[in-house]
Amino acid sequence: MEYRVRSGDTLTGIAAKFNVSLSALEGANPQISDSNLIHPNELVNIPTPAAPTHDPSPIPPRIVTYVVQSGDTMSSIAAAHNISLVTLEAANPNVANPDLIQTGEVLNIPGGACPTAPAAEDGTVPIGAVTYGRYDAGGQVNSWAIKACEIMGNPASYWVRGYEVLCARESSGNANAINTYDSNAHGPIQSDGHPLNCSRGVAQCIPETFASYHVAGTSTDIYDPVANIAASMRYVMNRYGVSSDGSNLASCVQQADPNRPPCGY
């Protein structure tokens, strides 16, 4: 896992934050020549903490979440996920009246089952349709960005250049990167073992953004780098007015501009 240094951070403080020894943290970051001098926005590798010597606490069953759509009932949702109505109701004790659920309400789906809801015509999907399989097919940011542009019908040149910068800053180009420490890192645990709202993937999309800006023809798996980059591209076009050819990407999105310091997007 990687941590982006904030103003006031020290290696000692970061080690304490993640429950690792200072020596282990220094050993995982040979690029830091002076352990007393780290800079905001610098990426620090966080080593895996040593395994506990006592028996770990039981891990609760993993769940995914589903956002109620217009016309849904508890019975239809249970059937779509191949679980019993009793099981679904037991996983959602917060639902006072199972016969009265509201559009937009978030339900827990036990057992890690994935919903079968189809993508809309524009490619967007319900947040419950997002999946969390780790990516191991290889490739680099430039090839993933080119493929995303092909699917979206966008000229690739500016997009590739900008996303090489953006993804280096967001995830060090790691398709399986996950941010477990910022303000988004909350919500029900998903099938990858992390809270729902964590930023994930090479362009660090949160599942809600990934679902809302999902591009038709790409995977619904948030760790798939082509799908992750495509959703991010669609997001910055909508949010920041980036043109389809990406020619104003660097000027509109500072995180994609190599001539300006890092800045979240």
Q: Give one DSSP letter per residue of 73-98, joined into a string.
A: -HHHHHHHTT--HHHHHHT-TT-S-T
Q: What is the pTM of this model?
A: 0.60
pLDDT of res. 188: 82
The residue with greater pLDDT, 132 or 105, is 132
pLDDT band of 55, cuts 50, 70, 90: very low
State the pLDDT at residue 223.
96
CB-facing half-sphere around the CA of 197: CA atoms within 13 A: 8
Task: Supply the pLDDT for residue 241.
Answer: 95
Amino acid 113: pLDDT:
41
pLDDT at 121: 62
Backbone angles phi, psi at 218, to 5 degrees: -110, 165
Cα separation of 67 and 77, whole Å? Answer: 10
In degrees, to the nearest 5, what angle opens at C-alpha 3 toward C-alphas 161 and 198? Answer: 85
Q: What is the pLDDT of residue 135?
A: 93
Q: 195 and 114 in contact (C-beta within 8 Å)?
A: no
Mean pLDDT of the chain: 85
Per-residue confidence band for 156, with pLDDT thresholds at 50, 70 and 90: very high
Q: Please compute Rg for the chain using Cα positions.
A: 20
Residue 54's pLDDT is 42
